[in-house]
Amino acid sequence: MTVLSARAHRTLQDLQEDVAERSGPCCLVSCSPEVESYCAKSGLSLVHLLRPFCQLRNVNAPVRTVGDSAYRIQDLTIRVYDGRTMYQPTVQQGDEHLSQVMSNFEVQNEIEGVEAGSEESLRKYLSDKVERATEMKVPWWKKFRHEYDRMLLFGSHETIDLPVAVVIAVNSSDPDVVSKTKALLERTRQEHGELWNPNLLKHFLLVHDCQNGDIEMAKRQLEGMKLAFGKNECHMIQLNSKVSDLLNGTPPTPDMWSACIGQSLPGGGAGEFKVPTSGADTSAALGSTLSDSDINSIISFLKEFVVKRLIPHLENRIRYFNHHISSTRKGIRNQFKNYWFRKEKDNSQVVNGEPAYSSQSIEFQIRHLGDLSFMMKDYNLALSSYRLISNDFKSDKAWKNYGGAMEMAGLCIVMMRGSQREAEVCLDSAFSAYQRHGKDWKLTVRSLLILSEVLVASDRPREAIGALKAAIIDNNHLRAALLLEQAAYLYILSSKPLYRKFAFHMALAGRHYSTCGNHNLSAQAYTLVLAVHSKHQWPFIDEHMHLSLGKESKQIDNTQLALQCWMRLLVAIYQPSNVQQKYLEDFLKLAETVQAGEKSNVLPLLLPNIDVENVYVHFDDFRCFAAGAYAQSEQVWARLDERVIPPAILSGQNWLEADLSNSKDYLNLCGAQEEIGVDVEFANVLQVTIKVQDVHLDCFYSPDDISSFRSCTDEEVEVKHEKFTLLPQEKTLIRLKVSVKKPGMLKINGVRWLLCGIAYGAQEFDIMGPKRKKVGEGEPQRDHPPHRRLMFQVLPTIPRIEATFTGFPENMYAGEICKCSLTIHNVGAAPLHALRIVSTSNSLIFGEFTVIREESLLDVGSQTLSPTCSKGVHLLPEDFTLNPGMKMQCSVWIYTTEVGNIGMHSAIYFQPTHSHAKMRFRVLHCTQHVQVFPSIQLSGEMLLSEVSTKQLVLHTKIRNSNKQDTFYVKKLVESNGTHDLNVVGAGSDDSGAHKVSPNEQTAIFIEADEKDTVDKLGESIQDLRLQEDSVLGLEPCVLQSLKDSLLVSTQETPPGGMKVPLLVFWHTSSRVTSREHSGVVGMNFLMKGQEKPMHMTVSYPQTTVHNFRGDSICIIPCKISIFNASQQSIHGTLNLENAVQDMKPSWKGLPDKSSANGQSIVTERNDLLGCLPYCWCGKLVHKFYDLQPLETKEVAATVCIFAEGCYEIDNFGLQWSFSNTNFSQYELKGSKFCLSVRGKE
Amino acid sequence: MPRDSTTLTFVIVGGETPIYECEIKAGAKKEETVNYLHEFVLHASLDNVDEAIWTTQSCYLKQVDRYYDLTVSAYATSSLVKFLLLHDSKNDDGIRSFFHDIHEYFIKIMLNPFHTQTTKITSKHFDEKVKLLAQKYLL
């Protein structure tokens, strides 16, 4: 029967070529034992020797079958079989053979490039295969398809595999060749009775062994044969003419034969011997004794045989059968006869409930005619024959025969390129006929396979999948697996590839492969499935596939792959703990065998789960961090650094001046012998407790640059090993440490560990970050901030300090001043100098430093250093050097008005005495935390006194923001020392202190009078008491800093504005700490310039005694002070309006505001008298220019009084404007004041 | 309306990843194999869903795939998040209503600006609602 090549993807033409090739005429070969032995010299049998040359190209032979016109056959393939092998093996034998063929198939390299878990690699693999459409996707399917069809050769219901010719081969060495030939022919006829028919074409072949006898002799023998059997019926071929001369070095004959030798079955049959080539010299390479002339003789024999003998013979047979059939079956008469009398014909033979047709029957002949014309490529004749006979088979209910005929009819249509639909209908009916027959599933499957191939060839893969799936009809797992696998590939071949369907069918195929014990193919199927499922995260599928692939890999001894799979199972979080425990145990068992305790053989374990994308690197470059300081935000330190680092040292380090070509923004700096810590998070996702040991960083070291990293030795790098136990679902953050002993380069690659004492695991860090644009050799791909960089430049030893605060309070009140001490220790191996210290908001104030010499127990000769302070930066003398191992100590005063959990950050700057180009200085960052409770808060406003421009009134509101404690305000001080304070009203208790209860507020008025002498603040602060009741003991250098700190929280003074800084001293007995606390809160009272820019006061004698009798005019001198409270200079005019001048006769009416309001206040009596009560005299208009802010201008004026009495004087005013603006002019009326003049008797 | 399904599994798929899974009824044979078989069938049906989306304007795509007696019905939101229901009996109207009501709850979940298409839905409230709806329409 036709053997279709099983290329899943091919064109219709390919299909046709394959069908034609595999359905060629079949020849029976029978040879003498001597001939067999000749052939065996080259490791072959005669049929195998002939097979590679049986495909004849460009024959160009004319053929005329039944039609009038001849056509030419170009290519013809004949099939040669030994007569002893021409029978069909049983179904069971066939299945066994197939499963053996498949299990022997080497598939190791087939899926090379496909990684379990990468869809990209799968797509690439498949698309490569699809592109190269001529190639098979899976070679084992081609093999299977070939072997499957071979198992169905020589079927009883088909005639296409019946021999049409017999070739009798005899050896030339026999003296009587002719009689031997006759005997062999006779023997063959007897041996193969069922294959024999008298009309077989007989051909005689004389085989000459060149190593055995003379060629001339053989030629004479051939002449004899020709005389006996006919000239054209005899041929001679020569063998073994190749001289095995090693010296000549003849090139070996190319192996053309191995592809043509089928695998033999234990029971024989299907065209192959039971045992491969009896007596063959298996050690010899196939065809090694054949020379080119031998091969040419074979080729010419076959060509002449086919063209001159076989084709004419087949033409004759076709014509004969056609004539015979036409006379009995064609025409109206015969049709009727057939219709009526067919039923009565005795179908004597019945096999398996279906009629069997003998070779003499007309049905057999019609079928044979169809097959012969199919061989001769007259597909029209073949199709009509198949159609004709199929009706008969149908009416006889001979389903198997019917199926065979329809199958061939379908193929005829395909070969003719007829209607696709018709071909499908034929193959469909073949399928249903075989199903009706029901006994031989193999035939059913074959018809479906052909159907699917036809559908694929016509580019309908989806329908082909349906056909393939329908072919899974019995419990043959191997076949089911192969069919599902093909179906899966067809999903990929669809116009839009369906990868998920592919995966599903592949998984089913893998399962079937596994069931039938073919673990190789099963493993490769599962690998493909995993490739699709890698990123889809369907948990159960992932777990199941890994488990299945792991089991299969174990079966095929691929423990490495099995281990990989089991490794994935360690994250099966959906499973109950007992299953997880089992997975873990299995994994460890496997790991024990694979790794064999070797440390270098590490696995990318997923247990414990490591957050490789996020790590925190602790290291000291020019910025060092004390404990707890890492956690603070970058801004805090940036602000401190800005203040503490002298600008001079940074010159050349800004972006303008920096040498960009040398900038390596992927490198961190650190000193040799300093510890680098990496915070890594380990998580146990399972519900099983695991032990993790030997956890350490995986580092690479390079003595010079980043291109030569190598694994490090103990002399260069010291890594610390950690171990811990993770409870179910536990997460832990571990700081892994490494220190480099020599200067060079360090790269931290990842982390390694030992799981449960057995499996060595490793993970590489893959820190997230934006991609770098230009990546040089060895440089990281991504950009990272310093605390995530894992590449270090290790500098030679540089100094390093540790700062320790002792006695730092845990809690304090806002405004309280506490004291603690600071010890600075040079723990590095190099001296340092130029220390500078700064703290946030200047809340820490540093006193004098004392150098502690440990060797001298007595504190003799201790050096004391006073830091100078500028803008909150405490500087130690430049020439002071702190040598390695030396310590120094100082007192620190803490003051803050912020409330809550306050971080007191400080930065300590220093320079190595021998500075390195890359690290000229270092800054140590420290953080201390203190809980600050609220105390009192000040608010209020400053008013100008109406009495004098030298006096201010401070309206102070004291609010207690603490919810528990009562505060007592004891003392109020003006910190500049320029004003005397005088509290209006007494205190709320006996001692004169103002008591402020929790959440209450008290207002007090304070008169502040300017004074000439300036007091020192120090004395007031000295009165404060520390918690321990010791005297505060402020050092002189500290005093100014403290003062700054006290007022730093208050509002900034506007430039040129007026301010009165007020300090309020308080004390309380705390309920929280059960101690006495005292502190000080400051506030700047600011002049509110905007509301009333000009202020005018008059100083005058309140009561004057004057003798009007003696002198009728009383002259009273006054002083008018003009105060500029604005922030700009002003100029203006002071008008002392004289009542006489402005007097108007009509004053009695409504007073005119602008001019005569002065008089309206004068008593009625005076008005009636018509005399003036008073008037200004002297200079009446005063002009002044550029009165500066906060400046006072005093103007002397004189009032004349003419009679005794009490006078309200208000007719004066000031017209002014800001110096820098011309337009707007303002007017300020003088406020009234009273002059009382008493007459002197 | 036949409501005798022995297998009912509901999955919401965003992108390629299942973001919500609910096994309403596990099937008659409670074996280990069932879980992954159901996942396989549902996952494979996504290929059919991708095709079915472009053949209709409605969100409900009806039955998209079968594997022996297991049927997959699908529903695609306008953001191409897919609801899949694996069942083994015919109950077209019930499934349509079930999907429709789930969609409303799903939109509420998606209103969260931090919820992307591939974020797993872990809301207990949503889970309860799905089970209630299943009780109402499917069981």
- Look up the CATH number of the domain holding residue A1015: 2.60.40.1890
Q: What pLDDT is recorded for position B83?
A: 92
Shortest distance between the Cα of A500 and any Cα of chain B, in A, equals 5
Give the CATH number, domain containing residue A615.
2.60.40
Give percent of chain A with pLDDT exceeding 70.
82
Q: Are A505 and B47 in contact (CB under 8 A)?
A: no
Shortest distance between the Cα of A535 and any Cα of chain B, in A, equals 8
ipTM: 0.93
- Mutation target for A interface from B12, B33, B43, B118: give the one with most A CBs within 10 A: B43
Could you tell me if B43 lies within 8 Å of chain A, comparing CB atoms? yes
- Both A963 and A832 in one domain: the answer is no
- Both A1099 and A1073 in one domain: the answer is no
Q: What pLDDT is recorded for position A422?
A: 85
Give the CATH number, domain containing residue A30.
3.40.50
Whole-Å CA distances, A342 to A334, A366, A399, A616: 11, 15, 17, 95
Q: Which of A218-232, A564-578, B21-35 has the lowest mean pLDDT?
A: B21-35
More confident residue, A976 or B113: B113
Instruction: With cut-offs at 50, 70 and 90, classify the pLDDT of residue A5.
Output: very low
Spell out where A741-865 has E strands: 744-755, 759-764, 791-795, 801-806, 811-813, 817-826, 832-839, 844-852, 864-865
pLDDT digit string (tens) for A974-1033? 766 677 777 776 555 666 678 888 888 888 888 887 776 665 555 555 555 444 444 455
Closest CA relative to residue A33, chosen from A177, A171, A238: A171
Instruction: With cut-offs at 50, 70 and 90, classify the pLDDT of residue A606.
Output: confident
Cα(A313)–Cα(A21) distance, integer angstroms: 20
pLDDT digit string (tens) for A147-182? 888 887 887 778 888 888 888 888 877 778 788 888
For chain A positions 532-551, those within 8 Å of chain B (CB to CB) are: 533, 535-541, 543-544
pLDDT digit string (tens) for A935-953? 888 888 777 776 676 777 8
Instruction: With cut-offs at 50, 70 and 90, classify the pLDDT of residue A523.
Output: confident
Q: Are strands A623-625 and A922-933 parallel, antiparallel or unpaired?
A: parallel
- Mutation target for A interface from B16, B20, B42, B46: give the one with most A CBs within 10 A: B16
Q: What pLDDT is recorded for position A134?
A: 40
- Both A1136 and A1175 in one domain: the answer is yes
Type of residue numbered A764:
E
Cis bond upstream, residue A608 (ω within 30): yes
Q: How is residue A968 written in tokens?
A: 């007592």
Instruction: List all residues 6 or more positions away from A1150 whose beta carbon is below 8 Å from its beta carbon.
Output: none
Q: What pLDDT is recorded for position A349?
A: 65
Shortest distance between the Cα of A467 and any Cα of chain B, in A, equals 16
- Both A765 and A830 in one domain: the answer is no
Could you tell me if B13 lies within 8 Å of chain A, comparing CB atoms? no
Could you tell me if A503 lies within 8 Å of chain B, comparing CB atoms? yes
- Both A1071 and A1104 in one domain: the answer is no
Q: Which of A292-301, A513-522, A673-682, A851-860 has the highest mean pLDDT?
A: A673-682
- Both A926 and A948 in one domain: the answer is no
| Whether residue B103 has pLDDT greater than 90 | yes
Q: What pLDDT is recorded for position A126?
A: 67
- Both A942 and A832 in one domain: the answer is no
Q: Does A351 reside within a domain? A: no
Cα(A286)–Cα(A283) distance, integer angstroms: 9
- Both A175 and A34 in one domain: the answer is yes
pLDDT digit string (tens) for A1140-1187? 444 433 333 333 344 434 444 444 444 434 455 677 888 888 888 888
Q: What is the mean pLDDT of residues A897-909?
A: 87
Contacts of A503 in chain B (CB under 8 A): 43-44
Q: What is the mean pLDDT of residues A742-757?
A: 87
Whole-Å CA distances, A541 to A533, A738, B21, B39, B97: 8, 41, 13, 6, 29
CB contact under 8 A, A536 and B40: no
| Whether residue A504 has pLDDT greater than 80 | yes
Type of residue numbered A35:
V
| Whether residue A1209 has pLDDT greater than 90 | no
Q: What pLDDT is recorded for position A1164?
A: 40
Q: What is the mean pLDDT of residues A763-776?
A: 84
Q: Does A154 reside within a domain? A: no
Q: Which of A236-250, A402-416, A458-472, B64-78 has the lowest mean pLDDT?
A: A236-250
Could you tell me if A495 lies within 8 Å of chain B, comparing CB atoms? no
Q: Are A1205 and A1237 in contact (CB under 8 A)?
A: yes
Q: What pLDDT is recorded for position A1023?
A: 53
Could you tell me if A504 lies within 8 Å of chain B, comparing CB atoms? yes
- Domain end, chosen from A774, A795, A816, is at A795
pLDDT digit string (tens) for A285-319? 676 777 778 888 888 888 888 888 888 888 888 88
Q: How is residue A90 written in tokens?
A: 């049983």
- Both A679 and A777 in one domain: the answer is yes
CB contact under 8 A, B36 and A537: no
- Both A33 and A181 in one domain: the answer is yes
- Both A275 and A227 in one domain: the answer is yes
Instruction: With cut-offs at 50, 70 and 90, classify the pLDDT of residue B102.
Output: very high
pTM: 0.67
Q: Computed over its alpha carbons, how large is the radius of gyration of chain B?
A: 14
pLDDT digit string (tens) for A1120-1135? 888 887 777 888 888 8
Tell me what the pLDDT averaged over chain A comes to.
Answer: 77
Could you tell me if A500 lies within 8 Å of chain B, comparing CB atoms? yes
Q: Does A832 reside within a domain? A: yes
CB contact under 8 A, B47 and A536: no
Shortest distance between the Cα of B43 and any Cα of chain A, in A, equals 6
Domains along chain B with CATH numbers: 7-137 (3.30.450.70)
Q: Does A348 reside within a domain? A: no
Q: What pLDDT is recorded for position A765?
A: 87
| Whether residue A860 has pLDDT greater than 60 | no
Q: Does A875 reside within a domain? A: yes
pLDDT digit string (tens) for A382-437? 888 888 888 878 777 778 888 888 888 888 888 888 788 888 888 888 888 888 87
CB contact under 8 A, A541 and B39: yes
Q: What are phi and psi of B13, to 5 degrees?
A: -115, 120
CB contact under 8 A, A501 and B36: no
Cα(A394)–Cα(A401) distance, integer angstroms: 9
Q: What pLDDT is recorded for position A129?
A: 60
Q: What is the mean pLDDT of residues B32-38?
A: 73
Q: Are strands A76-77 and A350-351 parallel, antiparallel or unpaired?
A: unpaired
Contacts of A539 in chain B (CB under 8 A): 39
First to last CA, chain A: 163
Q: Does A919 reside within a domain? A: yes
- Mutation target for A interface from B39, B49, B50: give the one with most A CBs within 10 A: B39
Give the CATH number, domain containing residue A1163.
2.60.40.10
- Domain end, chosen from A1035, A1057, A1086, is at A1086
Alpha helices, DSSP H, located in A692-803 = none
- Both A30 and A178 in one domain: the answer is yes
Q: What residue of B is the nearest CA neighbor of A492?
A: B47
- Mutation target for B interface from A123, A540, A579: give the one with most B CBs within 10 A: A540
Cα(A602)–Cα(A591) distance, integer angstroms: 10
Q: What pLDDT is recorded for position B104?
A: 92
Point out the residue among A501, A535, A540 whose CB comes nearest to the CB of B36. A540
Cα(A992)–Cα(A237) distance, integer angstroms: 141
- Domain end, chosen from A1056, A1086, A1116, is at A1086
Beta bridge partners of A395: none
The number of C-beta contacts closer than 8 angstroms across A and B is 43
- When divided into structural domains, chain A yields a total of 6
Angle, CA A885 vertex, CA A879 and CA A886 arms, to 5°:
45
Q: What pLDDT is recorded for position A1158?
A: 42
Q: Does A708 reside within a domain? A: yes
Q: Which of A766-775, A1157-1166, B26-35 has the highest mean pLDDT?
A: A766-775
Q: What pLDDT is recorded for position A1051?
A: 46
Element (H, E) at A961: none
Instruction: Residue A906: give the domain boundaries.
Output: 801-931
| Whether residue A137 has pLDDT greater than 80 | no
